[in-house]
Amino acid sequence: MNAAMALIRFTFAEVFHHRAYQLMMLACLLLPWLMLVPMSLFLLDLGKVLADLLFTVEHMLMAGFVFFMALPLMARDIEQKICHLLLSVPLKRSTYLLSRYFGMSAAMLPLMGLLLLSSAAVFVFVAYQWPDYTTMDLAWHVPLGEMLLLLPYLALLGVLFLIVVFASGSSESMVFLFSVWLLSWAVPPVLEALMRPEVATKMPHGLFVLVQGLEYILPDLTSAKLSLDIAHAQWPPPDMLWAYVCEHFSYAAIALIVAMLRFERKDLA
């Protein structure tokens, strides 16, 4: 347990001291304020527009963290023998992977916290400055929606670990992770469209079952709709919310378990 906690702290410190991470923290503080510029182009409810823009910013930052901080760190660990050093402490291989995962997940929280704080300040500013254009109240559903958006990136982080233990290096990991990310954004909406009654009735039964199966199995990491609905105070049924939370934790858990099984048997040359 000590070793695991020590590696979680070590991973967090490693990410935290990285200059790129410090720039991301600065971006979390500044970007919500910069969003005031594009927001002013819309003659709509400014609060709603701002919520939408903040979600875009959050997607960018979290994806940036996974692709440009977590991926290079893990790929380098395996490629450049840092994991040999860490495993020689000694640490179990599964402890090493899990601690690295939790350390990196923990490093996402300060980014999230800063973004939430800065967003809240911007909301207050907008509501005070332009009350006539702001009907959306500042209730807790906006931060909740923003926090739920973190789950797909925790799942993506799990997938990253799975890819890294199989891949031969950072370039290969980058290509595969990008493909997973792209597919998990692009395919689910298409499958959802195919499942609509007007399309489904014209489809052969076998194909429909296949599409339905794919729709259930394939990860939907966009999460944009559900968390954005919540941010706009449009509550989904509770079972849908639970399914969303469980789905993403399950993706992360499955990816990590397979990664651990592979890593246990991997030759670290």
Q: Looking only at residues 41 through 80 of this chain, which bind another protein when binding is defined by CB under 8 A?
A: 76, 80
Q: Is 6 in the site for another protein (CB under 8 A)?
A: yes
Minimum gap (Å) between residue 85 Cβ and another protein: 6
Calculate helix-pair angle for 224-231, 141-148, nearest 10 degrees: 170
Q: What is the DSSP string of 22-54?
A: HHHHHHHHHHHHHTHHHHTT--S-HHHHHHHHH
172 CB-near residues (< 8 Å, 6+ apart): none
Picking from 176, 155, 119, the residue whose alpha carbon sits closest to that of residue 247 is 155
Distance CA 224, CA 95 (A): 33
Q: Is 7 in the site for another protein (CB under 8 A)?
A: yes
Q: Is 3 in the site for another protein (CB under 8 A)?
A: yes
Among 60, 209, 245, 268, binds another protein (CB under 8 A): 268
Q: Which is nearer to another protein, 79 or 229 (CB)?
A: 79
Q: Is 239 in the site for another protein (CB under 8 A)?
A: no
Distance CA 90, CA 225 (A): 45
Tokens of 16: 């935290």
Q: Is 232 in the site for another protein (CB under 8 A)?
A: no
**Taking contact as CB under 8 A, which single stretch among the options 12-20, 104-112, 128-136, 235-243 is the one that binds another protein?**
12-20
Q: Is 205 in the site for another protein (CB under 8 A)?
A: no
Q: Residues in contact with another protein, total (CB under 8 A)?
A: 27
Q: Which is nearer to another protein, 10 or 185 (CB)?
A: 10
What amino acid is encoded at 130 in this protein? W
- SS3 (DSSP) at 170: helix
Q: How many residues does the chain have?
A: 269
**Taking contact as CB under 8 A, which single stretch among the options 53-61, 89-97, 119-127, 223-231 is the one that binds another protein?**
89-97
Among 43, 88, 139, 238, binds another protein (CB under 8 A): 88
Q: Which is nearer to another protein, 76 or 232 (CB)?
A: 76
Q: Output the 3-class SS for 252-269.
A: HHHHHHHHHHHHHHCCCC
Binding site for another protein (CB under 8 A): 2-3, 5-7, 9-10, 13-14, 17-19, 76, 80-82, 84-85, 87-91, 265, 267-269
